[in-house]
């Protein structure tokens, strides 16, 4: 009888097949587990990480738009009343409501704090006592985390990408873990809600795990006086023997020899007497110890006159100027006009943000306005005054109205009409142009052009120290005055051997005309 061995062979084949399937299943399971972990890390978590930054930047953009609202074109010459609508205000801090973006439910919350940099460049929170404010924007963007509530311990996929806070930190497995809030907000627990180490707390995240990123921006004021002369139309001047140079009053007084002495340590500040215009024509007479910028304009008679560079591709913006809100200013009811000799002495010193405010209906041709400083206990105070003239300052060619301020007085003059006087009648006892500021309020009819006419007075070389911001005015200077300061006007025409000295300290002076982003950093903690 012959015995068949086929059943035994069949059993061995089945066993081998089962083992093979088991081994392949283990391999597949391991591959699937690794793929799931890496997909969770490389797709869901990376997407949430990137989206959190998008949300933070969107929140910062919203805050920056709020800051710029008073400077955007409006239907009427009044800053938008809707600034900070819906935000929570506490002193000089504004906190946005939580804003949700898109179908992924990204969220952003932004804190805007008023701040400034002093003359030494040191950062301070609060209102600037001597000029325009800046703003610190801190925005937190949050993205819900999809996928598994875990992260891999393998950093190889993270090396070189944006997850790595420290590029030298390799393979320790906590790169992602430190960036995800599964149950609690790690940032608030470790650094506090504002990141300054105070009010630390264990705060649960809900309704789902999340990723958050934080950015900080500084919105710095764009001040009117960034160059010596800035015009929206044509520039002509200053005279065949005239020149424009610069200095920095915070370093020392003006010295005419510095601009031709490269060995002088102040030489670097002497070559910024620059001129900027839009698409018009700059007819350069005399010497410009600085640059000439245009926005596609034309510069003539330039070969030996411009000591710096000529750049015809510089963007230009010269918005109309409207009377700022006076709601926070200290209104003083008398006097109401300048007729003859008019002297005012405020009882309180005021501040740059809240000056003593006088409203004048007229300023006579022969009027003299003298503003005296406040004295408290025998000590002279730094005194801030704003004057709004709702008509002309001087209203005939033969007029010569006078404005004089002694040292310690900071005067801003806003005028709705025209302005004409002699250079020698603008008397600034401090010699600092930033202490005497003139602002021409743009007419309601954009076709109306204001006029500012300043002559030196019988050929006198006596000049003045002041700044003029009048974007709707045609400004004319005649004679040979010695001028310290800066002007912004619709057009500029000067005829005479004028010596013009731009104070580089003016780059931070004056009312803000817009804002720009000066710095951007991400808080990677």
Query: Residue 335, preceding bond cis, omega within 30 degrees?
Result: yes
What is the distance between the alpha carbons of residues 63 and 137, in angstroms, rounded to a whole number? 7
Q: Which segments within 328-463 are labelled E, that is strand?
A: 330-332, 341-344, 356-360, 368-371, 375-376, 379-380, 383-389, 402-405, 409-415, 419-422, 426-428, 436-440, 450-455
Tell me 42's DSSP state: I
pTM for this one?
0.73
Tell me 36's DSSP state: H
| Cβ–Cβ < 8 Å for 105, 119 | no
What is the distance between the alpha carbons of residues 72 and 77, in angstroms, rounded to a whole number? 10
Instruction: Give the pLDDT of the chain (525 residues) as one tens digit per residue.
Output: 555 555 555 567 777 878 888 888 888 877 776 666 565 555 677 778 888 999 999 999 999 999 988 877 654 455 455 789 899 999 999 999 998 887 778 899 999 999 988 767 788 999 887 778 899 999 999 988 876 666 654 444 444 444 444 444 444 444 555 578 888 888 888 888 888 888 899 988 877 888 899 999 999 988 889 899 999 999 998 888 899 999 999 888 999 999 999 999 999 999 999 999 999 999 998 899 999 999 999 998 765 688 999 999 998 888 888 888 898 899 999 999 998 899 999 999 998 888 999 999 999 988 999 999 999 999 999 999 999 999 999 876 666 899 999 999 999 999 999 999 999 899 999 999 999 999 999 998 888 889 999 987 655 667 899 999 999 999 999 888 899 999 999 999 998 889 999 999 888 787 788 899 999 999 888
Phi, psi of 433 (to 5 degrees): -60, -30
Q: Please name the helix (run of DSSP H) or strand (run of DSSP E) that holds residue 493, with its range, or none.
A: strand 482-495
Positive/negative CA dihedral, 307, 282, 477, 496: positive
């Amino acid at each position: 009888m012959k015995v068949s061995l086929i059943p035994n062979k069949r059993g061995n084949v089945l066993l081998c097949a089962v083992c093979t399937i088991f081994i392949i299943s283990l391999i597949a399971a391991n591959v699937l587990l690794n793929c799931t972990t890496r997909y969770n890390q490389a797709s869901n978590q990376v997407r949430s990480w990137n989206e959190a930054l998008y949300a933070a930047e969107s929140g910062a953009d919203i805050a920056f738009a709020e800051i710029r609202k008073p400077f955007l074109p409006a239907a009427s010459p009044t800053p938008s009343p809707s600034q900070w609508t819906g935000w929570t205000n506490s002193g000089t801090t504004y906190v946005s409501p939580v804003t949700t973006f898109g179908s992924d439910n990204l969220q952003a919350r932004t804190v805007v704090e008023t701040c400034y940099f002093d003359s030494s460049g040191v950062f301070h929170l609060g209102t600037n006592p001597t000029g325009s404010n800046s703003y610190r924007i801190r925005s937190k963007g949050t993205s819900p985390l999809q996928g598994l509530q875990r992260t891999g311990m393998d950093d190889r996929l993270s090396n070189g990408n944006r997850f790595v806070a420290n590029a030298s930190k390799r393979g320790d497995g906590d790169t992602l873990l430190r960036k995800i809030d599964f149950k609690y907000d790690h940032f608030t627990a470790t650094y506090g809600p504002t990141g300054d180490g105070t009010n630390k707390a264990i705060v649960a995240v809900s309704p789902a795990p999340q990723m958050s990123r934080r950015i900080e921006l500084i919105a710095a004021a764009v001040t009117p006086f960034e160059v010596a002369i800035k015009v929206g139309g044509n520039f002509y001047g200053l005279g065949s023997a005239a020149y424009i140079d610069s200095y920095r009053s915070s370093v020392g007084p003006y010295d005419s020899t510095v601009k031709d002495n490269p060995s002088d340590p102040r030489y670097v500040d002497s070559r910024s007497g620059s001129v900027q215009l839009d698409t018009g024509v700059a007819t350069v007479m005399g010497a410009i110890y600085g640059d000439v910028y245009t926005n596609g304009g034309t510069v003539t008679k330039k070969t030996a006159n411009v000591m710096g560079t000529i750049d015809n591709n510089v963007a230009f913006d010269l918005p109309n100027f409207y009377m700022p809100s006076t709601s926070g200013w200290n209104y003083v009811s008398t006097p109401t006009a300048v007729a003859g000799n008019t002297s005012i002495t405020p009882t309180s010193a005021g501040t740059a943000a809240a000056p003593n405010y006088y409203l004048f209906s007229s300023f006579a041709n022969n009027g003299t306005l003298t503003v005296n400083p406040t004295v408290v206990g025998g000590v002279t105070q730094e005194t801030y005054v704003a004057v709004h003239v709702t008509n002309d300052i001087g209203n005939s060619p033969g007029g010569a109205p006078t404005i004089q301020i002694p040292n310690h007085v900071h005067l801003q003059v806003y005028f709705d009409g025209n302005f004409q006087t002699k250079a020698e009648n603008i008397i600034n006892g401090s010699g600092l142009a930033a202490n005497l500021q003139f602002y021409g309020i743009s007419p309601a009819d954009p076709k109306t052009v204001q006029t500012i006419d300043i002559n030196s007075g019988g050929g006198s070389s006596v000049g003045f120290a002041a700044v003029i911001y009048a974007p709707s005015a045609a400004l004319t200077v005649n004679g040979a005055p010695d001028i310290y300061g800066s002007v912004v006007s619709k057009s500029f025409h000067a005829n005479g051997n004028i010596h013009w000295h731009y104070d580089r300290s003016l780059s931070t002076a004056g009312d803000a005309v817009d804002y720009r982003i000066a710095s951007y950093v991400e808080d990677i903690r």
